[in-house]
Amino acid sequence: MNDMITITGNVATDPQHKHPEGGVSITTFRVASGHRRFDRQSGAWVDGETNWYNVSTYRGLADHAFQSLHKGDRVLLTGRLKIRNWETATKKGTSVEIDADAIGHDLLWGTTRFEKDQKERTPVDAPPQQEWSVPGTSEPVVGSTTEEWPVARIPEGDGDGEQRELELERVDAPF
């Protein structure tokens, strides 16, 4: 199962952070998502069932989640839902897990302050940076890749209105 889910709930456990040597950062925690409804007969709010989720975050999100989240924080998160049955010699049950893609504090219940990560991050799949220059200039520009693209150049004419042939020249241009 690879369904997407968005939930609101409370961080129920202190986030645990792991960074195995040569591996990616992982932060895990549990979220309790309870629902309340207003009972018109009694005139009071009534607690409904609470759903419990094991949440896993990876890489930069794992680092930020560990630094930002604490037990009791109200959060809004989205990710891929995984439901797994498990069994031991004495028990059996179902585990509901979310591999989070995004997490934020639920601003309905409080305020937060966003601080942008100051580290420059290069995507893992990013191609190596290469220098290239814009045709007609001598200044190098840093770009990701270069390919040959045709560029139209119209030769200087003598202005007699004579139809001129379009001359194409291949030059390196970044795109």
Q: Is residue 31 exposed (0-12), middle (13-18) or buried (19+ Cβ within 10 Å)? A: buried
What is the residue extent of each domain of the chain?
Answer: 3-105, 130-173
Q: Which of 73, 71, 60, 58 is nearest to 27 (CA)?
A: 58
pLDDT digits (tens, 9 = 90+) for 90-129: 999 999 999 999 999 999 888 888 888 776 555 555 555 5
With the CA atoms of 144, 146, 147 and 152 taken in that order, what torsion angle do they form, in degrees rounded to the nearest 10?
120
Q: Which CATH class is domain 3-105?
A: mainly beta
* N-term to C-term CA, the chain: 37
Question: Which of 52 and 162 is assigned the larger pLDDT?
Answer: 52
In the predicted structure, residue 147 carries a pLDDT above the cut 90: no
pLDDT digits (tens, 9 = 90+) for 155-170: 555 555 555 555 555 5
Say what the pLDDT of residue 87 is: 93
